[in-house]
Structure 1
């Protein structure tokens, strides 16, 4: 099954047992905006998960783990259970940010060994509304479930893993941020500008069509045509959130050895000795 489901697919299953809808709307510049939007109107039956409170652990004082550290597995399993999500529940996640926040939830479910299916709502909340489907302000009554965490450690890498792979043949680092941030020309969020040495840049929003839906597999393949399917691909962004859509895009393009650097740039720069590069590495290699 594709990573994404259409609004029509979801509308046919609104009251189906075994399907849980999760609203993940969130704005980095206003951490309360997503929940306020949920309270005003959301897809019927949807529960809300907050990027900072639910989909991340608290930030550490030394900055390690980045701006959105991975949640503790047991704590997140309990969060899922309270939301009515068991290991076999089909989860459909949505946001209004091109799938970035919803993608974080889908990736976290994979990381915890969820096997009930996890999908993005293609086009997000805007597509749902544009199709004329109902919304509500009512919070659903949710029966608690049991979620057993089975951590899939091979899906994630950490700073020491990345450090050990720098310059290694057969390993490709993919920076998912906008090009000016990758090149180190601007840095509106984190303490240092630049990128991890050797990384190439593939802006995560380039995985989307103009209407906010996911590009088809052939278009995703074109985005990564310069990479080998034999490579180990490590994807990062600013804090491990917007990298998730690129993980899914790479998988749609046929790559199978794709890992997330969960702490990403904000974690990398928290270690004083980690090197930083600026400029366009692909351009420099071709000159």
Structure 2
């Protein structure tokens, strides 16, 4: 998969909408300190965009033992996606307003479910407005779509995943997409234990983004991953499988299909009874 197959520029989306071509646009505003972006969406969003809740629609909190953001079922995702207006053969653009976290999660979940033609708005909402895109307020309620989800279990879906039982990895490369202070164990604001999975290498999700929030240029992105020793065999995790999706998407833009550990650190460290089977490393 190329960069253009994973990301779409704001200028390209403006042209698509101006030409009246069919495209579904999803607003997936989310961040760790403000998980509900619905009010921000109502105040201003890309025209025609439908709000998607990462917490309620891209996660299934009834599932135990799979971290803070367990993946939704294929059935629940299909119901939600049709409500968002997604239809067979119509491309989908997902965007957010914070470090591509929400949009990358939506891209990963929808693509893992077997829905094709999903792309991330490069640079998010800031890139849209910087390119001259206008905003509209209020809610958008689209006509129901007819999209078909191909995989009932996203943990075994169209994108590669890793389980806790397959870690730590002695072979291949395992990347931790959290900030350096969380990776090292210097601080842990969310999960019960600080540190990282042994053998992991720190690749903060913000490290694949330029200052304006767009994906790094190809040469810089290639260098970023080369410096981490990334080859064809690579897995990625973060706190709960959200920001790791940013790194997975960036890798896919360079032609590498990385495996996501969906439960991530929040699954790895949550059960004290499994501490011997799931060791913790600290430091850089």
TM superposition score normalised by structure 2 = 0.90
Please say if 1:253 is aligned against 2:257.
Answer: no
Cα deviation for residue 17 of structure 1 reads 4.5
- Aligned position for 1:48: 51
Please say if 1:135 is aligned against 2:135.
Answer: yes
- Aligned position for 2:174: 173
- Which of the residues 6, 9, 24 maps onto 2:9? 6
- Aligned position for 1:229: 231
Runs of 4+ in 1 over 6 A off after TM superposition: none
Higher mean alpha-carbon deviation, 178-187 vs 214-223, is at 214-223
C-alpha distance in structure 2 between counterparts of 1:188 and 1:39, whole Å: 29
Cα deviation for residue 270 of structure 1 reads 2.0
- Which of the residues 146, 158, 165 maps onto 1:160? 165
- Which of the residues 7, 21, 27 maps onto 2:25? 21
TM-superposition CA deviations, 1:49-96 (whole Å, max 9, x none):
011011111154x5x111111011110111001111124221111111
Native 8 Å contact 1:100 1:245 kept in 2: yes
Cα deviation for residue 153 of structure 1 reads 5.3
Native 8 Å contact 1:220 1:252 kept in 2: no
Q: Partner of 1:155: helix, strand, or coil?
A: coil
TM-superposition CA deviations, 1:100-143 (whole Å, max 9, x none):
1100001111100112x111111111121222321111323411
C-alpha distance in structure 2 between counterparts of 1:74 and 1:220, whole Å: 36
- Aligned position for 1:90: 91
Q: Which runs of 5+ in 1 are unaligned?
A: 281-287
- Aligned position for 2:217: 216
Please say if 1:122 is aligned against 2:127.
Answer: no
Q: Relative to structure 1, is the Cα distance of residues 7 and 228 closer, same or farther in structure 2, using a 3 angstrom cutoff?
A: closer
- Aligned position for 1:267: 267
Q: Relative to structure 1, is the Cα distance of residues 228 and 241 closer, same or farther in structure 2, using a 3 angstrom cutoff?
A: closer
- Aligned position for 1:285: none
Q: Which runs of 5+ in 2 are unaligned?
A: 152-156
Q: What is the aligned length?
A: 270
Native 8 Å contact 1:56 1:71 kept in 2: yes
Q: Partner of 2:173: helix, strand, or coil?
A: strand
C-alpha distance in structure 1 between counterparts of 2:221 and 2:88, whole Å: 30
C-alpha RMSD of the superposition: 1.7
Q: Partner of 2:17: helix, strand, or coil?
A: coil
C-alpha distance in structure 1 between counterparts of 2:24 and 2:136, whole Å: 16
